Amino acid sequence: MTDLERTRLASPTVNGSSVSAVAPSSPAGLSDSGAMATCPRGCTPVVRFCQKLNRLKTLDEDMMTTSLKRCLSTLDLTLLGVGSMVGSGLYVLTGTVAKDVAGPGVVISFLLAGIASLLAAFCYAEFGARIPRTGSAYMFTYVSMGEIWAFLIGWDVILENMLGAAAVARAWSGYLDSIFNHTIQNFTETHIIQWNTPFLAHYPDILAAGIVISVTLFISFGVQVSSYLNHIFSVISLCVILFILVFGFILADPVNWSQKEGGFAPFGISGILSGSATCFFAFVGFDVIASSSEETKNPQKAVPIATAIALGLAASAYILVSTVLTLMVPWHTLDPNSALADAFFRRGYSWAGVVVAIGSICGMNTVLLGNLFSLPRIVYAMAEDGLLFSLFARINPVTKVPVNAILTFGVLVALCSLIFDLAALVQFLSIGTLLAYTFVAASIIVLRHQPEKAKGAASTSPNPNPDPEPAPTESQTIMEDSGELKQYESFSDKLQLVDMQTRERRGVGQLRACFEPYLGRLLGGFGAGEVVAFCVTAMIASAVSFCAVLEFGTNQLPVWSFALLLLIFSLAYVLSLALIWVHEQRSDSKTFQVPLVPLTPAASILLNIFLLMKLSKLTWIRFVVWLTIGLLVYFGYGVWHSKEGLRGQQPTDVAAQDGVGPNSSLVETVQSNGQVDSSYQNHVSPDTEE
């Protein structure tokens, strides 16, 4: 075989353009065959196994086709998001942060937390509109970063929703029991059972388990029943909030913000910032909107609009209620457990405490409903992809919901709420959310710099134009905006023409033409998206290092080394961000897009990692144990039953190279046709002769 024939086998053509088997995120730019050829004997199975772990989900052309029922409107999504965010936190968290952390400055804390949550909400809104599939963070990670990373995030979110629902049910039971002087608790401990075991409750909370089973049954009747139930609880909760605001402003006394009572910020700026970190978790729950995109009539418009309105309403409610609360009574006299009800009682309106109690119970019901609504849909998405047991992917033909997933995990949540202590449950509630936010923000950057998958072709060549124009000559002309022809004869005109054509050849994920003279020699040889994928990884690593030094190095390191490390890691973070910015992005999307990419998702990543560093060591240890269980499930079942893996084994398609790194691009396949050399499938071995 001649060198020319061997070259054709290694790089076939489609419609006259070169088809590269190099994954855009491969750091060294090596093809699959090249990697296998250069590695020692016996490492080929390892390479293939790594490719299995990082394969990406191939999306259908018509993403509106689904086995679920598309019936949710923008109003349904908005109330679902508001209900998931405005719950027990409004009645408990406001008083706790105001008394112990920020004072009346809790108003600013909620404002800052709302702005920070908006960064993550933007990312979820873009993905929910662009990829209207259930699964939320799991799905978004799967299509941009790889299978094993998606599984870990999905497994993480499952734990988050399970324990979140159990914690809310436990709080709901405790709140209702406190109204009746703990009658239920005393009866259970006296006549049923009581135990003293670490990490377990002192008594089985039968009421909490009962409310979980009740909500689970309602959800299993269909998405419309769940939506109607959420409408009822959300409307009642919003009416109670409106009552609190109107009646509270009537009773407001500006003296409670004066220096006589300690001033507006008695704990200073540091107290306000610490309070904002705590208040950030009050806005957790807007991801339920993206999780519901596969059951939405028009997700391209409804998801971004509902996310913006829901987050705006939730932020307004938290800011205004905290304002009213700290104006009604002095902040240092608040009762952290029932601040609002106690404030009205101390002003002589004890009957208003009953109204507040009704609103609190309805608010907790909406949060519980949101958690139990999202949980089975994430399980269904993972089972539909073959990563979890197929039993959970079955859709009821009547209700059009994954009943098996709903009932199974509803029972597991009821069991958790029955035996676990509320404090043990709450410790887990933040780590999963922050990790999911981080991966979704990183996925936005990666996917925004990935070239669109061409129909019937898998070209990842730096030059997306299959038929390049011939080099310009002195007599070449182009049509100007005025419609007149201009002759390019001078040297400057020739340079202008070449520059215009260079700009036309710039594809998504490639270096921008204006930076070609400065960075072309250094970055020009990489494929589309390679540099961006590497820079995202470097940015996350530098953010982790920066936050770790900032959190743990203050009292452990000398001042000079502390400052030097902060400077090094901050420069690495900014440099990674700048290198991402100099590459072309997708700009022709018809759906909502996050503004100021990569700045917005990068800021979200930095904030989420900073909050992760504030979690306790015990929380991280428990989380690692849960991830270990998940890895056993994945390597024991998911990796062998993945539908992406089964699709890659089909002989009808010529599969393109799967990315080896966690930031590999979308899997692209080349359909066999007369324009592709039939022997291309044999290009893996460089020693192939015939």
Over residues 337-352, the mean pLDDT reads 86
Sign, CA torsion 582/20/638/685:
negative
pLDDT at 183 over 60: yes
Q: Write down the pLDDT at residue 195.
A: 79
What is the mean predicted confidence (pLDDT) over 673-685? 39
**What's the rounded mean pLDDT across residues 493-522?**
70
- If you search the block for the tokens 């937390």, which residue do you land on? 113
pLDDT for 487 beyond 50 = no
Res. 18 pLDDT band, cuts 50 70 90:
very low
pLDDT in tens, 244-253: 999 999 999 9
Average pLDDT over residues 499-512: 66
> Cβ(211)–Cβ(368) under 8 Å?
yes
Average pLDDT over residues 351-367: 89
Are 579 and 531 within 8 A, CB to CB?
A: yes
Q: Which long-range contacts (CB under 8 A, 24 or more apart) does 463-472 make?
A: 463/17, 463/505, 463/507, 464/505, 464/507, 465/17, 465/504, 465/505, 466/14, 466/15, 466/16, 466/17, 467/16, 467/17, 468/505, 469/501, 472/497, 472/498, 472/501
CB 592 within 8 A of CB 125: yes
- Whether 77 contacts 292, CB under 8 Å: yes
Percent of the chain with pLDDT over 90: 41
DSSP state of 72: B
Confidence band of 280 (pLDDT split at 50, 70, 90):
confident
Structure-model confidence comparison of residues 492 and 21, the more confident one: 492
Which pLDDT belongs to residue 8? Answer: 42
Q: Could you tell me if 144 and 447 are in contact, meaning their C-beta atoms sit under 8 angstroms apart? A: yes
Is the separation of the CB atoms in 509 and 597 below 8 Å? no
Query: Which of residues 264 and 175 earns the better pLDDT score?
Result: 264
Q: Who has greater pLDDT, 586 or 573?
A: 573
Label residue 238 by pLDDT band (50, 70, 90). very high
d(C-alpha 77, C-alpha 219), whole Å: 15
Q: What is the pLDDT of residue 107?
A: 94
The span from the CA of 307 to the CA of 285, in Å, is 10
Tokens of 515: 């930076």
- The share of the chain scoring above pLDDT 70, in percent, equals 78
Which of 356-365, 523-532, 674-683 has the weakest average pLDDT? Answer: 674-683
Ranges 6-20, 189-203, 367-381, most confident: 367-381
Flag the least confident range among 196-210, 503-517, 545-559, 605-619.
Answer: 503-517
Look at residue 273 in the predicted model and tell me its pLDDT: 86
* For residues 109-132, average pLDDT: 91
Average of per-residue pLDDT across 74-83: 93
pLDDT band for position 460 (cuts 50, 70, 90): very low
Q: Assign residue 509 a region (left: φ > 0; alpha: ψ between -120 and 50; beta: otherwise).
A: left
Both structure tokens of 477: 């002309």
Q: Is the pLDDT of residue 75 over 90?
A: yes
User: Which residues partner with 121 through β-bridges?
Assistant: none
Determine the pLDDT at residue 421: 77
pLDDT top residue among 39 and 178: 178
Residue 424, pLDDT score: 64
| Residue pointed to by tokens 């039971």 | 173
Residue predicted with more confidence, 572 or 64:
572
Residue 502 has pLDDT above 60, yes or no: no
pLDDT above 60: residue 132: yes
Mean pLDDT computed over 327-331: 92
- Helix (H/G/I), strand (E/B), else coil: 478: strand
**Rounded Cα gap, residues 549 and 543, in angstroms:** 10
Q: Cβ(573)–Cβ(416) under 8 Å?
A: no
Helix, strand, coil content of the chain in percent (nearest 5) = 65, 5, 35
The answer to whether 123 and 289 have CB atoms below 8 angstroms apart is no
Distance of CA 531 to the CA centre of its chain: 22
Q: What is the DSSP string of 136-188?
A: THHHHHHTTT-HHHHHHHHHHHHHHHHHHHHHHHHHHHHHHHHHTTTHHHHHH
User: According to the model, what pLDDT value does residue 635 have?
Assistant: 93
Q: What is the pLDDT of residue 636?
A: 93
pLDDT at residue 32, as a whole number: 41
Give yes or no for residue 457 having a pLDDT over 50.
no
> Residues 583, 542: contact at Cβ < 8 Å?
no
Mean of the per-residue pLDDT values of the chain? 80
CA 186 to mean position of chain CA atoms: 42
Query: What's the pLDDT at 645?
Result: 84
pLDDT tier at 463, thresholds 50, 70, 90: very low
Rounded to the nearest 10 degrees, the angle between the axes of helix 74-85 and helix 351-384 is 110
Average pLDDT over residues 580-597: 86
Average pLDDT over residues 535-560: 92
- Evaluate if residue 657 carries a pLDDT over 50: no
C-alpha–C-alpha distance, residues 297 and 284, integer Å? 24
Query: Which of 39-53, 152-166, 381-395, 661-675 comes out lowest in average pLDDT?
Result: 661-675
Distance in angstroms (rounded) separating the CA atoms of residues 566 and 571? 8
Phi, psi of 59 (to 5 degrees): -85, 145
Q: For 54-59, what is the mean pLDDT?
A: 86
Residues 170/172/173/176 CA torsion (nearest 10 deg): 160
Asked if pLDDT for residue 276 goes beyond 80, the answer is yes
Structure tokens at 524: 């020009």
Query: What's the confidence (pLDDT) of residue 537?
Result: 94
pLDDT at 328: 93
**Which range (294-298, 539-543, 667-671) has the least confidence?**
667-671
Three-state secondary structure call for residue 516: helix
**DSSP three-state, residue 472:** coil
Flag whether pLDDT at 603 surpasses 90.
Answer: yes
Distance CA 40, CA 485 (A): 60
**What one-character DSSP code corresponds to residue 338?**
S
Please, which pLDDT band fits residue 426 given cuts at 50, 70 and 90?
Answer: low
231-235, 290-294, 522-526, 622-626: which has the minimum mean pLDDT? 522-526
Three-state secondary-structure class, residue 76: helix
Angstrom distance (rounded) from CA 419 to CA 264: 42
DSSP SS3 for 313: helix
Closest listed residue to residue 644, CA positions, set 33, 60, 99, 22:
60
Residue range 411-434: average pLDDT?
81
The band of 37, judged by pLDDT with boundaries at 50, 70 and 90, is: very low
Element containing residue 134 per DSSP (H, E): none
Q: Give the bridge partners for 7, in sequence order.
A: none
Q: What is the dihedral of CA 542, 548, 553, 555, to 10 degrees?
A: 160
Whether the predicted pLDDT of 455 surpasses 90: no
Mean pLDDT, residues 402-410: 95
* Sheet strands (E) in 432-495: 477-479, 485-487
Name residue, tokens 């914690």: 167
The pTM assigned to this predicted structure is: 0.78
Maximum mean pLDDT: which of 325-339, 535-549, 612-626 = 535-549
Question: Scanning the structure block, which residue is given the tokens 């790089």?
Answer: 11
More reliable by pLDDT, 49 or 414? 414
Place of tokens 């950030």: 280
The answer to whether the CB of 59 falls within 8 A of the CB of 131 is yes
At 226, list the tokens.
Answer: 């769940």
